[in-house]
Chain A
């Protein structure tokens, strides 16, 4: 039973297209994230949602729009894809303890996005 699942696993698309990546967690966590891993394997936070509310929005082009229909789902929609968007995108969820710090994040398997 997968804790954090994201689809699709691979996504190849042309420049200028719009695409979405879906993420679901069955851990009962309140907080979900999107991370981007670049070609040098560096992991950078993009967005964080807590109970469907956006709480972290790093410097990300506004072509990227997260949507959380409920606290178990966090989708990522990307408009007008560019070559530089090629990366692996990871969804994660975590439990925030009282006081507001992550105790552990569980990650999905990643979506490898290739823009051609």
Chain B
């Protein structure tokens, strides 16, 4: 069975500061990994995904994530955040025969 743990429920940062949102997964088989963002009262939008290949994945809005198989992690990073990045961020995993399984989410709050 697969599971996802987002290690921080809330991350407050100041504008233009770097940010890292942490995600660990567990799975006995190969997995695909995703980060989604949810702005208030909206649906989920894909930020980036890791299917195979390079372990450093670049996504939209300046976000990137690194797949680390030995540490079973897929942390999301951005070097300089904006007020508009304030949102809920979800890490997710998929594997054979399963739908996307989501972590509990991390609330990123960016203030000036």
Instruction: Mark the stretch among A12-20, A64-72, A102-110 that contacts chain B.
Output: A102-110
A40 touches B97 (CB 8 A): no
Q: Which residue of A lies closest to B38 (CB)?
A: A41
A48 contact set on B, CB distance < 8 A: 99
Please give the number of chain A residues whose Cβ is less than 8 angstroms from any Cβ of chain B in the complex: 25
Instruction: Mark the stretch among B15-23, B39-47, B64-72 that contacts chain A.
Output: B39-47
B105 contact set on A, CB distance < 8 A: 41-43
- For the complex, give the distance between the alpha carbons of A60 and B45 in Å: 25
Count of A-B contacts judged by CB separation below 8 Å: 60
| A42, A99, A102, A108, most chain B CB atoms within 10 A | A102
A90 touches B43 (CB 8 A): yes
B88-109 vs A, Cβ < 8 Å mask (1 yes, 0 no)? 1010001111111110110000
B74 within 8 A of A: no
B residues in contact (CB < 8 Å) with A: 31-32, 34, 36, 38, 42-46, 49, 51, 88, 90, 94-102, 104-105
A residues in contact (CB < 8 Å) with B: 4, 33, 40-45, 48, 56, 90, 92, 94, 99-110
Could you list some 14 contacts between A and B, CB below 8 A?
A33-B99, A41-B38, A41-B104, A43-B90, A45-B101, A56-B98, A92-B100, A101-B95, A102-B94, A102-B98, A104-B34, A105-B46, A106-B46, A109-B42
